[in-house]
């Protein structure tokens, strides 16, 4: 399939690398191709500048958000939450119309120090803001509740015996994404929370996730629902 | 020990019943003893009116919030989140001073329909509001992330193999509560999130808990942290 990843950070790199490895044709979208390639500082989590990563992944094209939206059959929003709406506007409403957008982003606000708070929560969510701004996009919230390495390889923690909530208004898009996550990444326990308002719940899992990362000293964990 | 439960609803009843059964001397505090005993309608979850429950538990005294605060060595806040500060004011700052208060409450707002939202979250929490309002109380946030029946009997789901986050500013109070929850209810995996601001994270777990309850059609579940 033709997959477009919006966002060049660690999440975008990890998703793109894994999907290209699996045989998909992958492009990564960015605001400015030249600026992204000119960056020389490492990412906030110590990941190399994009250009160094790109050299290891020659099959993955770096393109504008708009070109990524045109080329992708399934799109992943891996931009930072605060930049997501602007990135999607740059991608273009017409280019996005009818496409499935897997919204992986979290509305984290680091401006008030650590741990981050959320820029939107409780009675609204980033995924709902995106769905309202782009009503013709088939938004599916997924993967935002785990670290990038767990997203693409759930078996790396607890043998994959843990859960992934998904939600969205378009049942067919949700079914497609669910199947995609199972067959490409090996997710076993995907739970459909219902419509896109479920993103309030999954984005509000970030605070407990962040505190637990601090306690466990690793991002390699997830939650299993025990009955 | 002398235990005081603030709140006469299902959570208060369940905690009181279990702790009395274990041999503790338990009182339940309420705003008005006569009004609570005069109620004839069942609770919102189908539990019997308090008087019917009380007749089954003759050893448990129903007293005012103030008397409960005086009598309890450890107090549990099992009032509804929106009523917690008023209940604690009625209990009296002087009566509460120095006491351990296990804050079990969640700031759920049912006024805008289902699912409920939170009255406070993200950059503050109910537990922090309580701690700020009563600086001499040793507030420990705990048990608010599970159903009442799971609180007192974690073995009822998944053999008890799931997690309970606790937090609070007073390390000795947290250690006392942790030991209390282990020895009285059988909790095995208690995770200390740090100071009372961790309550933002645990209270913000309510949205995912509520959505999952809807999907699973049961409140008898909890999260296990898988690594």
The string of DSSP codes covering A82-104 is: GGHHHHHHHH-HHHHTT-EEEE-
- Phi first, then psi, for residue A157 (nearest 5°) are -125, 130
Query: What is the ipTM, given to two decimal places?
Result: 0.96
Q: According to DSSP H, which parts of A29-170 are helical?
A: 33-38, 50-56, 65-71, 84-91, 93-96, 126-133, 148-152
Interface residue B107 vs chain A (CB under 8 A): no
pLDDT at site B26? 98
pLDDT at site A145? 98
Distances in whole angstroms, Cα of residue A194 to Cα of each of A107, B80, B214 = 20, 27, 10
| A90-97, long-range: CB < 8 A, 24+ apart | A90/A31, A90/A64, A90/A65, A90/A66, A91/A6, A91/A29, A91/A65, A91/A66, A92/A65, A92/A66, A93/A134, A93/A136, A95/A66, A95/A69, A95/A70, A96/A69, A96/A134, A96/A136, A96/A137, A97/A136, A97/A137
Q: Please report which helix (H) or strand (E) contains residue A140, including its range.
A: strand A138-141
pLDDT at site A140? 99
Nearest chain A Cα to B195, which residue?
A211
Work out the burial of residue B171: count CB atoms within 10 Å of its CB; fewer than 13 is exposed, 13-18 middle, 19 or more buried: exposed
With CA atoms as reference, report the closest residue to B26 among B37, B12, B38.
B12
Nearest chain B Cα to A211, which residue?
B193
pLDDT at site B112? 86
The span from the CA of B146 to the CA of A177, in Å, is: 30
- Report the gap between the CA of A10 and the closest CA in chain B (Å): 21
Nearest chain A Cα to B208, which residue?
A201
Work out the burial of residue A11: count CB atoms within 10 Å of its CB; fewer than 13 is exposed, 13-18 middle, 19 or more buried: buried
- Other CB atoms closer than 10 Å to residue A135's CB: what's the count? 10
Contact (Cβ atoms closer than 8 angstroms) between residue B129 and residue A129: no
pLDDT at site B105? 98
Interface residue A222 vs chain B (CB under 8 A): yes
Facing B221 at nearest CB: one of A201, A216, A225: A225
Identify all chain A residues contacting B122, using CB atoms and an 8 Å cutoff: 117-118, 121-122, 207
Whether the per-residue pLDDT at B45 is higher than 80: the answer is no
- Percent of chain A clearing pLDDT 70 (strictly above): 100
pLDDT at site A121? 98
Mutate to test the interface with B, among A119, A211, A214 (most CBs of B within 10 A): A211
Whether the per-residue pLDDT at B36 is higher than 80: the answer is yes
Average pLDDT, chain B: 97
Whether the per-residue pLDDT at B136 is higher than 90: the answer is yes
- pLDDT level of residue B41 (50, 70, 90 thresholds): confident
Contact (Cβ atoms closer than 8 angstroms) between residue B191 and residue B164: yes
Identify all chain B residues contacting A113, using CB atoms and an 8 Å cutoff: none
pLDDT at site A141? 99
Interface residue A123 vs chain B (CB under 8 A): yes
Interface residue A155 vs chain B (CB under 8 A): no
- Distance between alpha carbon B19 and the CA centroid of its chain, in Å? 13
Average pLDDT for residues B160-170, to the nearest whole number?
A: 98
Percent helix / strand / coil, chain A, rounded to 5: 45, 20, 35
Whether the per-residue pLDDT at B144 is higher than 80: the answer is yes
- Report the gap between the CA of A181 and the closest CA in chain B (Å): 19
Mutate to test the interface with A, among B204, B218, B222 (most CBs of A within 10 A): B204
pLDDT at site B42? 84
Interface residue A207 vs chain B (CB under 8 A): yes
Q: Which two tokens stand for residue B36?
A: 């609570």
- The low-confidence residues of chain A, meaning pLDDT below 50, are none
Facing B208 at nearest CB: one of A162, A165, A211: A165
- pLDDT level of residue B46 (50, 70, 90 thresholds): confident
Average pLDDT, chain A: 97
Q: If DSSP codes are grouped into helix, strand and coil, which group holds residue A146?
A: coil
Interface residue A114 vs chain B (CB under 8 A): no
pLDDT at site B43? 78
The pTM of the full predicted model, rounded to 2 decimals, is 0.97
Q: Is the CB of A227 less than 8 angstroms away from the CB of B212?
A: no
């Amino acid at each position: 399939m033709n997959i477009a990843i919006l966002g060049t950070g660690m999440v975008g790199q990890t998703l793109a690398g894994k999907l290209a490895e699996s045989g998909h044709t992958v492009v990564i979208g960015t605001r400015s191709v030249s600026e992204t390639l000119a960056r020389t500082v490492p990412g906030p989590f110590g990941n190399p500048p994009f250009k160094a990563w790109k050299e290891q992944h020659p099959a993955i094209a770096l393109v504008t958000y708009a070109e990524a939206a045109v080329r992708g059959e399934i799109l992943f929003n891996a931009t930072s939450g605060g930049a997501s709406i602007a990135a999607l506007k740059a991608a273009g409403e017409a280019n996005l119309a009818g496409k499935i957008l897997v919204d992986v982003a979290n509305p984290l606000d680091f401006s008030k120090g650590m741990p981050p708070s959320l820029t939107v929560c409780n009675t609204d969510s980033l995924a709902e803001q995106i769905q309202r701004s782009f009503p013709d996009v088939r938004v599916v919230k997924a993967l935002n509740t785990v670290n990038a390495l767990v997203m693409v390889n759930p078996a790396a923690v607890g043998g994959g015996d843990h859960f992934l909530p998904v939600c969205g208004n378009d049942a067919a898009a949700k079914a497609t994404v669910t199947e995609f996550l199972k067959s490409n990444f090996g997710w076993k326990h995907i739970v459909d929370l219902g419509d896109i308002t479920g993103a309030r719940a999954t984005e509000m899992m970030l605070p407990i996730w962040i505190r637990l990362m601090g306690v466990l000293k690793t991002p390699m964990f997830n939650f299993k629902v025990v009955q």
